[in-house]
Amino acid sequence: MLHRADQDVAWWLEAAGGATRSDHAGAAVLELACGTGRLTHALAGAGLAVVGLDNDQVMLAAAAHRPRRTWPIFVAGDMRRFALHHRFALVFVGYNSLQLLTTPSEMTACLRLAREHLVPGGRVGVEVSDFQIGGADGPHNEPDAHDAPDAPDNQDNVGNPELLGDAEGIRLAGSLVHDLGARTSRYRRHFSGEGWTVADEIVVRSLDRPELEGLFRAAGLTGVKWWVDGATVRALAAP
């Protein structure tokens, strides 16, 4: 969660504003792909009954380890295929996490399930970003090309330790290699601290507002509230 300054918390709090604050009425908000519970805990701290779902046990363990009262509670599950008994006033996927599902059919499956878990009048919420604005196509047909010592010209540097700074002693450097046709980008990350470094690579699918509108339609949803800031879009959708 490096460099996320919790600027989204207020937005999700407002989005959940209509949700019940009573512990007795059951859970009011479901966060899919909740990670370490950055948002889940913030919403619970504001008095909301919140459930966080993630498919990574290590993330869930970190989330559950943070101080909490009755809420939030955390459940293990895959956002592409989950079934909970509760129905919620708000089901949301924050911080670009929907984009870890790299095909429209997987993203639609997730949004459809989110819709099916709503109480009448409930909303589905999403934050997505377009990582490819101004980007050039990368060497995606040559799997090893990105490991060449000379970075290709069409590799966007999205950060280095100087640009991204550090948080809690951890530095992040990264680069994106785009496949503009597939709308996917390989995000290569190097995390480092005192005497250690960890590198990994994830694939994210870019989404802009029209694409998100298309996914909403496919999932039986209609956008009812939009917030756009540069490449980032937040939306609430209703069935």
Ligand X SMILES: C[S@@+](CC[C@H](N)C(=O)[O-])C[C@H]1O[C@@H](n2cnc3c(N)ncnc32)[C@H](O)[C@@H]1O
189 binds ligand X (CB under 6 A): no
The window from 30-38, 42-50, 148-156, 217-225 that contacts ligand X (CB under 6 A) reads 30-38
Q: Out of 88, 95, 131, 216, which residue is the one contacting ligand X (CB under 6 A)?
A: 95
Comparing CB distances to ligand X, the nearer of 29 and 152 is 29
Q: Which residues pair with 130 in a beta bridge?
A: none
Q: Out of 28, 44, 48, 59, which residue is the one contacting ligand X (CB under 6 A)?
A: 59
Query: What is the identity of the amino acid at 121?
Result: G
Give the angle 116-206-96 at the CA atoms, nearest 5°: 55
Could you say which DSSP state residue 155 is in? P
Which tokens is 82 given? 């989950």
Comparing CB distances to ligand X, the nearer of 33 and 114 is 33
Residue 100 backbone class (left: φ over 0; alpha: ψ -120 to 50; beta: rest): alpha
Mention every residue, 6+ apart, whose C-beta is less than 8 A from residue 78: 55
User: Least CB distance from residue 156 to ligand X, whole Å?
Assistant: 19
Q: Out of 12, 49, 50, 94, which residue is the one contacting ligand X (CB under 6 A)?
A: 94
**Which residues here bind ligand X, judged by CB under 6 A?**
1, 33-35, 38-39, 54-56, 59, 78-80, 94-95, 97, 100
